[in-house]
Chain A
């Protein structure tokens, strides 16, 4: 009966109920779209870091992270291969790399470059390296020519078929020296990469660095990135920790993680402003509702309805309104977010440049992760319920004589 009472009370003033429902709905839609955008962009950046730089996990020599020199190249031993194999399907594939700074020159001009020794088919799987080719061809594992970034080519005036001379520090103090034919030119959006990268087939690079069978890192791409911490730990247990360390991308990129955290904090502040505004909106309608009905409350209490029963009616009303508002918000929010998910907003001019500078596609992507809907809906539902405590409190404190009189 109290249930029926509460339900019918909702439709007594349809307009006001609709206003309250729409304000809750609006808050939910706003919160969902905001969070979807923020999480979508974050995911976009994280994906970019993972595929363009670190991968999900890396096995390295223990010393390398603190002292990144060729002397701390790790042995690509059976132990490492076994450890990775032991995780089975949890690892989609591995990407071996050997890399380091060296001096590149042609004739009398020279400049510092970053040499990457890679397996092209693995890089393609991870970051579609060969799709960046703008001239020439990509090497395959057995080839012996180099593929260089566009900026390096321009600065050293290298064209296809020219020879690039590389000079660097090899494993354990050996001098690394070699010359390679330029077989292809790659274009990178990020100037840092475009001006420094030189690629060689893994084997050639290992020979060049005098480090056969050694890698700087073995990248592991995971089936389920959310398990990275757990898998890193399992992997570490299988490896001699005197020699090998397993690092997650977060450990490899602490400043990026810090930047994300700072941004998350900003977003949270923004979200709370939204929640508070929504809370006050709901509060306003509830206060008017209560004051219009004080006399009714007084009479109900006088004839024998208990305060707790009246409070329950009020609570049920808020519950209904909030639930309808939140569900409507989720139902309305989903298609909006879904549409943006499928049609990312193309960014123009300045913003696009910023995104490109960060090595990202100049699109604003949205996330449709279900926890966004769940948490945003839940948060606003809880806020509405907290606001709904006002009439409940009123039910417990109301002086029925003066309420019934006025």
Chain B
């Protein structure tokens, strides 16, 4: 399988505070096409920092992040905006959606920024909302959706534009157990059906076993990297 992301000697030191924090220490990881990976670890272990760095939202202090043959660690901000738009999908912990847009408009938003043809865009947005079980909520605004439904719209949006991979930082943190399972099941299914590489972070034991690969970070370093067979 093709390598989607490759990090080498990735380090991140926060120096904007009194005592510098080594949030990432020499992380060498490879993610292959179609993988479904959970990044786990105690609070402060560097999960968010790792996702931000490989997502091009933050710069590493040292090391490389190679995506599609390009090192984004040295890329200029203006280029990164475009790179993220074309290659990476994001799901955040909360408040993912644009409040004034309906579900279907939210899902279309990325494709719209990519200047995709309108017809295809609408078709795809509806398809994705159907995939996450919200075909009856197309024209509903986020404030009328439950937390779980909002996260499902966010997942639909992240996948709709068929990015190289999707990063989700604690997507279930604000959800009740049932919604959390539901969201992870949807993510697992879409990972398979759409063959989109998915990396999510969590410290929620309940949902870890949905992943086929579990990477454990401790104090910014890779502690364990386990693969599981699941169906």
| Interface, chain A (partner B; CB < 8 A) | 1, 5, 8-9, 12, 295-296, 299-307, 309, 400-401, 404-405
Contacts and interface: CB of A to CB of B under 8 A. Distances in A.
Contacts of B82: 304, 306
Nearest to B89: A303
A299 B95 contact: yes
B138 interface: no
Contacts of A405: 48
Contacts of B90: 302-303
B33 to A, nearest CB: 21
Interface stretch (B19-27, B35-43, B96-104, B123-131): B96-104
B95 A305 contact: no
Given A401-B52, A401-B57, A404-B92, A304 B110 contact: yes
Given A304-B110, A401-B57, A12 B84 contact: no
Given A303-B90, A306-B81, A5 B98 contact: yes
Contacts of A400: 57
Contacts of B101: 5, 8
A400 B90 CA distance: 13
Contact of B113 (A295, A304, A401): A304
Contacts of A309: 113
Interface in B97-141: 98-101, 109-110, 112-114
B58 A295 contact: no
Contacts, number: 48
A138 to B, nearest CB: 75
A405 B157 CA distance: 20
Contact of B98 (A300, A306, A307, A401): A300
B57 A299 contact: no
Nearest to A11: B100
Closest 5 pairs between A and B when the two form their complex, measured CB to CB: A304-B85, A8-B100, A304-B84, A306-B81, A303-B90
Contacts of B84: 302-304
Nearest to B113: A304
Given A12-B100, A296-B99, A299-B92, 11 more contacts: A1-B112, A5-B100, A5-B101, A9-B100, A296-B95, A302-B57, A303-B90, A304-B114, A401-B52, A401-B57, A401-B58
Given A5-B101, A296-B98, A299-B95, A307 B112 contact: no
Contacts of A299: 92, 95-96
Contacts of A8: 100-101
Interface centre among B58, B81, B90 (most CB of A within 10 A): B81
Nearest to B48: A405
User: Which of B48, B98, B112 gathers the greatest number of chain A CB atoms within 10 Å?
Assistant: B98
Contacts of B48: 405
Nearest to B161: A304
Interface in B50-65: 52, 55, 57-58
A308 to B, nearest CB: 9
Contacts of A295: 95
5 contacts: A301-B81, A302-B90, A304-B84, A304-B113, A404-B92
A1 B48 CA distance: 31
- Report whether over half of chain A's contact residues are helix, strand or loop; otherwise say mixed: helix
A296 to B, nearest CB: 7
A306 to B, nearest CB: 5
Contacts of B85: 303-304
A294 to B, nearest CB: 11
A187 to B, nearest CB: 70
B196 to A, nearest CB: 16
B99 A307 contact: no
A320 to B, nearest CB: 13
A297 to B, nearest CB: 11
Contacts of B96: 299
Contacts of A296: 95, 98-99
Contacts of A401: 52, 57-58
A12 B100 CA distance: 7
A302 B158 CA distance: 12
A303 B57 contact: no
Nearest to A405: B48
Contact of A307 (B81, B92, B113): B81
Nearest to A306: B81
A303 B158 CA distance: 9
Contacts of B112: 1
Contacts of B92: 299, 302, 404
B13 to A, nearest CB: 15
A401 to B, nearest CB: 6
A173 B81 CA distance: 93
Contacts of A305: 113
Contacts of B55: 302
A307 B77 CA distance: 10
A5 B55 CA distance: 26
B170 to A, nearest CB: 11
A12 B95 CA distance: 16
Nearest to A300: B98
A405 B49 CA distance: 11
Contacts of A304: 81-82, 84-85, 110, 113-114
Nearest to B84: A304
A405 B95 CA distance: 10
Contacts of B95: 295-296, 299
A309 B81 CA distance: 11
Contacts of A404: 92
Contacts of A12: 99-100
A401 B52 CA distance: 8
A314 to B, nearest CB: 14
Contacts of B100: 5, 8-9, 12
